[in-house]
Amino acid sequence: MNFELIIFLVMVVSFVIGTLVLKLPVSISMVIASIIGAAVGGYGFPIRHLVEGTFGYIDTILVIATAMIFMRVIQSSGALDALSAVIIEKFHKKPRMLLCFIMFIIMFPGMITGSSTAAVLSTGSMMAPILLVMGIPKVETASIIAMGAMLGMIAPPVNVPAMIIGGGVDIPYVGFELPLLLLTIPLAIVIVLFFGYKYVKNMDIELIRKNLHYELREKHGIKIYAPIFAALLLMILNKAVPAIPDVGMPFVFVIASLVGLVTGEKVNILKTAKSAINDVLPVIGILMGVGMFIQIMTLTGVRGFIVTTALDLPDVMKYIAMAISIPLFGAVSAYGSASVLGVPFLLSFMRHNTIITTAAISLIASLGDLMPPTALAGIFAAQVVGMDGYVPVLKKCIIPAIWIIIWALLIIVFSNTLAPLLIF
């Protein structure tokens, strides 16, 4: 047996034991697996590589931290509640369109934080009572929230798995917007209609109005939406006017958060920022653990072994192996799956457009947040709607998960054809 394969198996087994048997956090299990892998590989305790690995995704960590603060600011200021109220009021007579807008609201926190958990616990929990009042059963409601959160994690502007994969092969996170929109928006529309439309044909808008907050919009007027407009404007300004220096995503979210402090309800910024960072610490810890894990894989030659193995697979087997292995490995971490397996598979598809292929692989990696035992999106979505178990949600989401894999593979196959239309 290849020595690099032995090291990889030891690292994976150590990680699984730490997570499932010892019930340690995913991040701590990755640190332990990295230390054991380095020792088995003959490198002892390589402190430089361990520390260097934890800072491998510092840019992504800054984006997530500042985006989560922004998310909490617009939630505390009432901007999200006001936005939900106006959308439901405008489109309640068009249930298909209303469902689509609710889906986009659920996706929104994931889009700006790159975290499905953030989407489930913020707008997912806000939209759950409304979906239930509309007549959608608990299982379907939880499925909508879980799938919306996962697709939000992949939709632009912030896609952490794509950043991780791109970072592994030195691809800047530029030009991903349209490919990611093509990958996520059609699926979001089809999935929410698949789960919810048959239940909302004859909904009672008066019952829904009781759960909405119209007073915020009346009290603050259109200025309550200012932080959202500010974030969107700053994000597109550099694209529209290249002469303006790109200030970076973290600074965009800082500026938009400051705007939110003076445009709605009073926000205690210190308390809000502390709460936001506490909520996102597990995700940051996972990214630091993933960085260390990948650093040790590179040091011991395991990463090169996985790359060469992926490159040696026949074309058809590459698609099958990717469709199966990335979601399964994502059961322990969607981010880890993107880094450990996403990078090798991207390298094996280098004859396809790199940006579109990276985006498609990140979509497949998102399914890790649906896979047990971690299943962050699915478990939290079940809790939000008051379900005792997560298994019914998993069963409901199997068909949409298959759609996601098929759609991603099709996008990869036709990536060279799509590239002139999607990348500028």
Q: Cα separations (Å) of 153 from 7, 148, 158, 364, 385? A: 31, 9, 7, 12, 20
> In the predicted model, is pLDDT for residue 360 greater than 90?
yes
> In the predicted model, is pLDDT for residue 249 greater than 90?
no
Greatest mean pLDDT among 64-78, 165-179, 185-199, 296-310 lies in 185-199
The residue to which tokens 């003076």 are assigned: 262
The dihedral through the CA atoms of 130, 153, 412, 325 has a sign that is: negative
Q: What is the pLDDT of residue 332?
A: 66
> In the predicted model, is pLDDT for residue 43 greater than 80?
yes
Among 400, 370, 404, 424, smallest CA distance to 183 is for 404
Q: pLDDT per residue over 362-395, tens digit each?
A: 999 999 888 876 677 888 888 888 787 788 999 9
> Which pLDDT band, with edges at 50, 70 and 90, does 419 fall under?
very high
Which sequence spans correspond to the domains of the chain? 3-422
Higher local confidence (pLDDT), 152 or 287: 152
Q: pLDDT per residue over 113-148, tens digit each?
A: 788 877 887 778 778 878 887 889 999 999 999 999
Q: What is the pLDDT of residue 92?
A: 75
Q: pLDDT per residue over 289-345, tens digit each?
A: 888 888 898 899 887 787 788 777 787 888 898 998 888 877 767 877 887 788 888
The answer to whether 255 and 234 have CB atoms below 8 angstroms apart is: yes
> In the predicted model, is pLDDT for residue 152 greater than 70?
yes
Q: What is the pLDDT of residue 239?
A: 64
Half-sphere exposure of 60 (CA within 13 A, CB side): 29
Q: What is the pLDDT of residue 238?
A: 65
